[in-house]
Amino acid sequence: GHYGGGLFVSYFHYMSTLEAALKKKVGSKKESDIEDLNLDNVNVGNDLSFLKKFTSLQMLSLNSCRISTLESLPKIPSLVVLELADNKISGGLDALSGFENLERIDLANNKIEKADELAPLGSVSSLLSIDLMGYPLAENDKTYRQKVFDLVKSLQVIDNQDAEG
C-alpha cells in the first residue's frame, strides 16, 4: 500500500487551488495585462467573479474546472476564445451576451440537454465556432446541429463541421 498514498497526494496537488494557480499564472504582472489565462484542471467552481480583474483577456481556458453555471462570469468584451470543456455546465449562458469579440467557445462534455439552452448565444454576433461534442444534447437529438445553426445565426462551425456537414 506504499504507492497508493503518494498517488493520492500528487492527484490532490494536481487539483490545485485557484489561489495558488492564479499566483503562478499572474506572477508579478497585473491581471489587467494578461491576455491568455489557462486554469485547466483547477478546482474553480461556480464563483467566476475573480475574472473581473482580467480585463484584457483574449483566451480563457477553464477546462475541467468543476463549473456548473456561468451565472457569475463577468463581462470580458476582449475575449476571443473561451474553453469550457469537461465541466458540468447546464445553464447561465446568458452571461455571455456582452462578449462582443467571442469567436470560439468549447462546451464539449458538459450537461446541456436541449438546443434551446444555447439560445442566449444568439446574441453573441461574433461567434463563429462552437464545440458541443460528448453532450446529452448530441446523443438525444441528431438534428441538434441544425437547431443550433438556426439559433445562433453567426455560427459557421459546430463540432468542427460547417452547416453543410
Query: Distance between CA atoms of 100 and 28, rounded to whole angstroms?
Result: 29
In this prediction, residue 146 carries a pLDDT of 86
pLDDT digits (tens, 9 = 90+) for 10-54: 445 545 689 889 989 999 999 999 999 999 999 999 999 999 999
Query: Distance between CA atoms of 32 and 26, rounded to whole angstroms?
Result: 10
- Look at residue 137 and tell me whether its pLDDT is greater than 90: no
Report which of 97, 101, 89, 95 is spatially closest to residue 131, judged by C-alpha positions: 89
- Look at residue 140 and tell me whether its pLDDT is greater than 90: no
Position 124 confidence tier, pLDDT thresholds 50, 70, 90: very high
Query: Distance between CA atoms of 104 and 120, rounded to whole angstroms?
Result: 15
In this prediction, residue 1 carries a pLDDT of 46
Query: Distance between CA atoms of 128 and 111, rounded to whole angstroms?
Result: 21
pTM beyond cutoff 0.75: yes
Task: Classify residue 74 by its DSSP letter.
Answer: P
